[in-house]
Structure 1
Amino acid sequence: MRALLAALLATTAFPAFADTITAGSQIISVTVYPQGAKITREVTFESPSAGAHELLITDLPAGTEPGLMQLAAAEGISTGAFSLRSDRLPPRDEALTPDQEAAKATVEAAEAALRAATSVVDAGNARIQAATARAGYLASISGQPPEGATAETLREFAKVIGEETLAAAEEASAARADLWPAQKALEEAQKALADAEASFAALPSRAQDYTVLSVGFESAGAGTRTITLSHYVDAASWRPFYDLRLTRKDGGGLTIDRSVLVSQETGEDWSGVDLTLSSSRPSEQSAPSTLWPWQRWIEKEQPPALERARNMGAAEMDMVIAPALAAEPAPISASAAMEGDTVVYHYPRKVDIADGVEDLRLSLDPLQAEPGIFALAVPSRDQSAFVMAKFTNSSGEPLLPGEALLYREGVLVGSTSLGLIPAGKETEIAFGALDSITLSRDMPQRDSGQTGVFSTSNQLSETAILRIENLGSESWPVKVIDQVPYSEQQDLSVKTTISPQPTVTDVEGQRGIMAWEFDLEAGAKQEISLGYTMSWPDGMVLR
């Protein structure tokens, strides 16, 4: 067995690298999706000679995934196997950008200034302490006059003590006067250092937590070589914001001003990158859901014990009567990043996006639409009509979900959340209340004083008058929505008395919902009489 193993080891080819080269990468472009991003890096290094070598790319973020990584080599080099290392990493040079080098020099100069200011303050404090100590010593001298001392000697001794005490006090006072500007200079030096350190920290920098990509390659010879690396990250996104501007002047129109917020938390700063925004959503479901056969059956009525089993939870029911359905696979989803023919937005200038600390706001080209503008009135719920814009998204690209500010004739009237509006889809957007068109829904009294609702044990009647009044100075196309009950039982009869007749019944397939459409001139009023009677047999209860 050992002989066989030795023979296999002798005849098996393993990659052998002549040299190991360490290099960093430069992010050159980023494609950001509504969730996730594709990052493209360029790695430039020196190949020492022809043959097989190992390249260690030492600055990939810690969360880099190898599954969707792609390598492309320039002329003169071919790449082989590659792997990611997240542990036992080789040391790397902390190379700084020119901006970081300048900021670091500013920090070092501020540190030197702080040390000098601190020395001046320390020297001033030392002078004060020395003068104070001298004055304290002189004050402590006491006792009897020396033997044989004359009056002149005592006068001289007292004079010396006084002069020295005065000199110490003056020196302490001068030191304190010099200390005040020195302390002010120290405070300014401390602030300058803090500002310099903050400026240095704010500059784009490489990730502190990183992983290393090991790439085997063969070079045609010595010289400068380039490898392009693409990989995908999840911690990046962009989301749209809209300013929707509606006007009826000059034929009316809708302008959709678009901007986006781009953010990323990949663990590294993006500095001077070429940015593309894609409306593709590779992180979402990319395949249609699957339907499975739905078996139904009938059986004889069961005793109460089994009847209770029918009322068990869904999971328990699957175990009792439908065990075959429990193993259904989940809907298929995929995370492959394929831009295909989806719409992308390329920003014309290089951008910087710091990791986790900022949202970059960019503008997109505005879109134009020719909407149908009308006033929508729901008298049973509202006291005024609302302005509606109905339009088709003819831009050729989808409008992604996002927040929108609503402007009508240049005035901010509200905000809304837009859902996904695919290209070619017709949609309606409300643009705030139209106070000049007032609404009411009244029930006229009968002769007996009763209101418009009349009920017996097997009959219910209601009569309502809808009033729509235009108090403004311009005509509006109006759409009024109201409802009557409907029945799917033969024994429950519903008869309506409506004047004028609605333009549309069962609006959008909703039974009992009806609409009247008409033009309402300035100062005009429209009334609609809406009545119904429901009848059912004796002994039955209306629900």
Structure 2
Amino acid sequence: MKNISLVVLALLPSLALAQTPASKITQVLVYPGGAKVERAAKVAAGARELKFTCLPARFDLDSLQVQADAGIVIGDISVQTLERVRAPECATSPLDTRIRELEDQKAAIAAEDAAQALVLGYLKNYGKDKPSSPIASTAEQLRRTGQDALQRQHQAQRRAEVIEKQLAPLVAERERLIAANPQVRTVQIRLAAQAEGELRLFYRLKQAGWTPVYRAYLDTNKSQLRLERHAQVAQTSGEDWTNVNLRLSTAQPNLANRINPPYPWTLDIRPPISANKYEMQLAAAPAPMAKMITVTGSRRSADDEEGAPNFDVSVFQGEFAAEFVVPGKVSLSSDGQRGGFALGNQTLEAHIKVHVQPQQEAQAYLLAELTRPAGSWPAGNLQLFRDGDFVGQSQLRMDSEERMELFFGRDEMVRVQTEPEQRDAANKGFIGSRAEQKIGHAYVLENLHKKAITLQVLESSPVARHEDIRVQTQFSPKPAQDTWHKQPGIIAWQLPLEPGKTVRLSADYVISYPKDAIVNGLR
């Protein structure tokens, strides 16, 4: 016995030299197109080697980084990729514990069912070798015993069906995870640990990301808009994220990090070509191909937290991107299911208008104009709510403009009438050398609300692109803008309209051009 103890004590220093401690994911930083994972493992004093085993084989090897506490010197790092079947220690799955629990329950139910079947078999054979008189005296007792056994057997079968319904999807998911990750990686690190500490492993992967989702709540009585940020996070990295610190960044490292240099602007005179050759070139020109747009769906899940939850999200606005720290510990499986997280909200003052474009549609729409909020706001799906009612969805895309506009559905309490278009054509000029067209548009708008509104009505007026085309315009009343949003020819009326009142807007155009000219865009 003393010799055995001495052998064990002699082996202890060598066991401390090489370690394969259980590592766990402690923190994940998710980008719109990838993630950076941080794993941590304890290092014992005197250790000379440490292994991170059963890592997914999908992370970028070039991104591998190692950090250690003071007193731990890091040496060379090697990575080995193995088939999962060659790594028995990696054959387990996070679902195994739950699957074993259900299998144990199923086995217990099967044992109970077999016991009841044994009782029923005994009752069926009871009295075959006995005279009939004892059977008659115990018939009622046999009936009660048999009935109780049959009921217990039926209840056991029902419980077995429930267990099987819970077990089947878990087994299928375990098989799917193993099939989707046939390979694993082992990271072996040589080190010199003078004291106990922690070693952290970092790597990036592309099988993860998050998508921003926004909700805009417009309060028409207070003229305020509450803009909520949400995030949908999903990952298929091959390893579950369990009780990790989750951070979300608006940075996009997968995008191009530089712009191509400009090309020289050269001018030259094209050599003349014959008419036949020109016609052949036109005939040979292929039709443009349609662009394909891929639209992805979204799914949402929720995570339960123990105790009183804290839902405050810390936001760090850097010089170039924003970063959100999700409170508490977060768990996200590697099955592609999306987890939803709230990232805070802002309340903005809104200038509410009734927007009308009568040339296109005799319908009014509610428009909220507001100052662009500060910070980084990646483009994402936007759900719209007007006074608590869902009115549709759109895309939130904040450009470089200081003001932004959001539409909140139709306003049925503003009646829009478009009068028939007035047209008059004539020839004018020296011996009728010019043609002239007179076009008149008129619209009548009525406010059916019980309060005053602000109207914004847009009209596309003709703009001459050639010196031989002349355009005269007359508007009543005078528009507030003649280049709405810096677009030539788009005029905008903006005026208040009291409840129950109507207003008539008119636009008259006189367009003249050479009689023999073909004018593009003339309606």
User: Where on the TM-score scale, by shorter chain, does this alignment land: which range?
Assistant: 0.7 to 0.9
2: CA distance between counterparts of 1:265 and 1:166? 69
2: CA distance between counterparts of 1:442 and 1:308? 45
Q: Which residue of 1 aligns with 2:73?
A: 78
Q: 1:31 aligns with which of 29, 32, 38?
A: 29
SS in 1 for 2:63: coil
Structure 1 gaps, min length 5: 1-16, 136-159, 315-338, 444-450
Q: Which residue of 1 aligns with 2:344?
A: 365
SS in 2 for 1:435: coil
Q: How does 1:191-340 map to 2 (within 5 A)?
A: 191=161, 193-194=163-164, 197=167, 208=178, 209=181, 210-221=183-194, 224-250=196-222, 252-303=223-274, 307=278
1: CA distance between counterparts of 2:389 and 2:155? 53
Q: How does 1:97-108 map to 2 (within 5 A)?
A: 103=98, 106-107=101-102
Q: Which residue of 1 aligns with 2:154?
A: 184
Asked if structure 1 preserves the Cα contact closer than 8 Å seen for 2:247 and 2:324, the reply is: yes
Asked if structure 2 preserves the Cα contact closer than 8 Å seen for 1:128 and 1:171, the reply is: no
Q: 1:92 aligns with which of 72, 80, 89?
A: 89
Q: Which residue of 1 aligns with 2:517?
A: 540
Asked if structure 1 preserves the Cα contact closer than 8 Å seen for 2:33 and 2:252, the reply is: yes
Structure 2 gaps, min length 5: 1-14, 287-317, 428-434
Q: How does 1:92-171 map to 2 (within 5 A)?
A: 92=89, 103=98, 106-107=101-102, 109-124=104-119, 126-127=121-122
Asked if structure 1 preserves the Cα contact closer than 8 Å seen for 2:362 and 2:418, the reply is: no
Q: How does 1:35-50 map to 2 (within 5 A)?
A: 35-46=33-44, 49=46
Asked if structure 1 preserves the Cα contact closer than 8 Å seen for 2:247 and 2:323, the reply is: yes
What is the letter of the counterpart of residue 280 of structure 1? A
Q: Which residue of 1 aligns with 2:452?
A: 475
What is the letter of the counterpart of residue 257 of structure 2? S
Deviation at 1:212, TM superposition (A): 2.0
Compared CA separation, residues 268 and 201, structure 1 to 2 (3 A): farther
Deviation at 1:224, TM superposition (A): 4.6
Cα deviation per residue 1:262-287 (whole Å; 9 max; x = unaligned)?
Answer: 22121221110111111112222332
Asked if structure 2 preserves the Cα contact closer than 8 Å seen for 1:474 and 1:522, the reply is: yes
Deviation at 1:108, TM superposition (A): 5.3
Deviation at 1:175, TM superposition (A): 8.5
SS in 2 for 1:114: helix
Q: Which residue of 2 aligns with 1:438?
A: 415
2: CA distance between counterparts of 1:90 and 1:78? 28
Q: Which residue of 1 aligns with 2:482?
A: 505
Cα deviation per residue 1:475-496 (whole Å; 9 max; x = unaligned)?
Answer: 1222211122222223333222
Percentage of pairs with the same residue: 22
Asked if structure 2 preserves the Cα contact closer than 8 Å seen for 1:37 and 1:237, the reply is: yes
Cα deviation per residue 1:213-262 (whole Å; 9 max; x = unaligned)?
Answer: 333322145x7552101111212222222221222434x22111222222
What do you get for the CA RMSD once the two structures are aligned? 3.9
How many residue pairs match? The answer is 462
Compared CA separation, residues 462 and 301, structure 1 to 2 (3 A): same
Asked if structure 1 preserves the Cα contact closer than 8 Å seen for 2:43 and 2:193, the reply is: no
Asked if structure 1 preserves the Cα contact closer than 8 Å seen for 2:79 and 2:186, the reply is: yes
| Structure 1 stretch displaced more, 84-93 or 433-442 | 84-93
Asked if structure 2 preserves the Cα contact closer than 8 Å seen for 1:204 and 1:269, the reply is: no
2: CA distance between counterparts of 1:301 and 1:122? 100
SS in 2 for 1:536: strand
What is the letter of the counterpart of residue 89 of structure 2? R
Q: 2:380 aligns with which of 385, 402, 414?
A: 402
Deviation at 1:73, TM superposition (A): 1.6
Compared CA separation, residues 386 and 203, structure 1 to 2 (3 A): same
SS in 1 for 2:355: strand
1: CA distance between counterparts of 2:506 and 2:392? 33
Deviation at 1:357, TM superposition (A): 5.3
**1:356 and 2:335 equivalent?**
yes
What is the letter of the counterpart of residue 513 of structure 1? I
Compared CA separation, residues 205 and 65, structure 1 to 2 (3 A): farther
What is the letter of the counterpart of residue 255 of structure 1? R
Asked if structure 2 preserves the Cα contact closer than 8 Å seen for 1:404 and 1:418, the reply is: yes
Q: Which residue of 2 aligns with 1:10?
A: none
Q: Which residue of 2 aligns with 1:379?
A: 358
What is the letter of the counterpart of residue 471 of structure 2? V
2: CA distance between counterparts of 1:410 and 1:185? 49
2: CA distance between counterparts of 1:187 and 1:202? 22
Deviation at 1:35, TM superposition (A): 1.9
SS in 2 for 1:92: helix
2: CA distance between counterparts of 1:123 and 1:44? 54
2: CA distance between counterparts of 1:183 and 1:282? 61
What is the letter of the counterpart of residue 412 of structure 1? F
Q: Which residue of 2 aligns with 1:58?
A: 53
Asked if structure 2 preserves the Cα contact closer than 8 Å seen for 1:117 and 1:189, the reply is: no
2: CA distance between counterparts of 1:38 and 1:224? 26
Asked if structure 1 preserves the Cα contact closer than 8 Å seen for 2:479 and 2:493, the reply is: yes
What is the letter of the counterpart of residue 409 of structure 1? D
Compared CA separation, residues 356 and 95, structure 1 to 2 (3 A): closer
Deviation at 1:192, TM superposition (A): 5.5
What is the letter of the counterpart of residue 28 of structure 1? T
Q: How does 1:445-484 map to 2 (within 5 A)?
A: 452-456=422-426, 458-484=435-461
SS in 1 for 2:411: strand
